[in-house]
Amino acid sequence: MPKLKPISGGLRLIADRASNASPTPARERLPDADAFDAYSRTVSGVAEQLGPSVAHLAVSHRTRRGRRDGSGSGVAISSDGYMLTSAHVVAGGEGMSASFSDGREVGAEVVGADPLSDLAVVRAEASDLASARLGDADELRVGQLVVAIGSPMGLAGTVTAGVVSALGRSLPTRSGSAGRLVENVIQTDAALNPGNSGGALSDGLARVVGINTAVAGIGLGLAIPINDATRKIISSLMNEGRVRRAYIGIVGGSRPLPPRVASRVGREAGIEVVEVVPGSPAARGGLRPEDLIVAVDGEAMADVGDLQRLMVADRIGKGIQVDVVRDGGFLKLDLIPRELET
């Protein structure tokens, strides 16, 4: 094999070309510098405004082998100590402390938790917290900038940014024998890791639009939305320490309606009853598997989420009328929801 000969002067030629090149003007900027600066300013502004409101939560658990420490994040929603976090962060905890960006560490206790929405309210032993502003996740758009602040791996005050990857996701939750789908969950590619749960997902104006709850994969994080429904849950947790829900006792899912039925009711889908819990209000009211629920008290039902939204505390013990399609015929059934036991 012939030997390769080194090229003499090669380095000199490159150097000569570099020396002969025109110098880069000192003030010349990359074409995307303005956009990058605007992005950085937005993220930095959110971090400065919202960072003092987000705490690292250290939670102690008692196990058979002794004590075990867990951690998560929380967001101050009032100056007198109320904080919002994830229910799974505080579940089973026996002691808790909250650490803030100003170096303070104070004790905290659970006011109320709702595993079926994965939200909890805790109260820190402080009266001068920097409270965060709550936004409205219903105003978010896919592609919109969002910023996550929390304590992944115990690293308090960590800021990551990304976009809203998708809206309208569903997150199954469970408490004892009760199950529920949390609706309109926000999907984001902002980096979330263990410990981010309970932390803030913010829009570009430092308004909290979600509470980070789960990491579903690399670049795939989920957050419970802040909207009218969750505001009611937060209010119930602050005032009563729990959330009451009505219950009729069915398992079901969305199903396209037969063309004749769809034409009559003016919509394309209803709720197919897959299972009726024995002894439940649905069983007592005459609902059967394979029934199609098309309306409840005159409100259209297209999926289980529509029914869930109606099953609020005010419905407990009060009669409702369910419009059902069975074997091609239309029926009206009267049910009395009872309180959901968790």
> What are the residue numbers of the active site?
88, 118, 197
Backbone angles phi, psi at 161, to 5 degrees: -135, 155
Phi/psi of residue 160, nearest 5 degrees: -130, 160
- Per-residue DSSP letter, 307: H
Identity of residue 188: T
Please say whether the beta carbons of 247 and 320 come within 8 A.
no
How far, in Å, CA of 50 to CA of 43, rounded? 10
Report whether 252 contacts 304 (CB < 8 A).
yes
DSSP 226-275: -SHHHHHHHHHHHHHSS--BEE--EEEEEEEPPHHHHHHHTSSEEEEEEE
User: Can you tell me whether residue 13 is helix, strand or coil?
Assistant: helix
Dist CA 279 CA 69 (whole Å): 42
Distance, CA of 42 to CA of 205 (rounded, Å): 8
Place of tokens 């263990």: 194
* DSSP structural state of residue 25: P
Backbone angles phi, psi at 178, to 5 degrees: -90, 140
- DSSP 3-state of 253: strand
CA dihedral (248, 249, 251, 256) in degrees, to 10, reads -30
Distance of CA 151 to the CA centre of its chain: 16
Q: How far apart are CA 164 and CA 142, in angstroms?
A: 5
- Measured at the CA of 226, the angle between CA 56 and CA 60, to 5 degrees, comes to 25
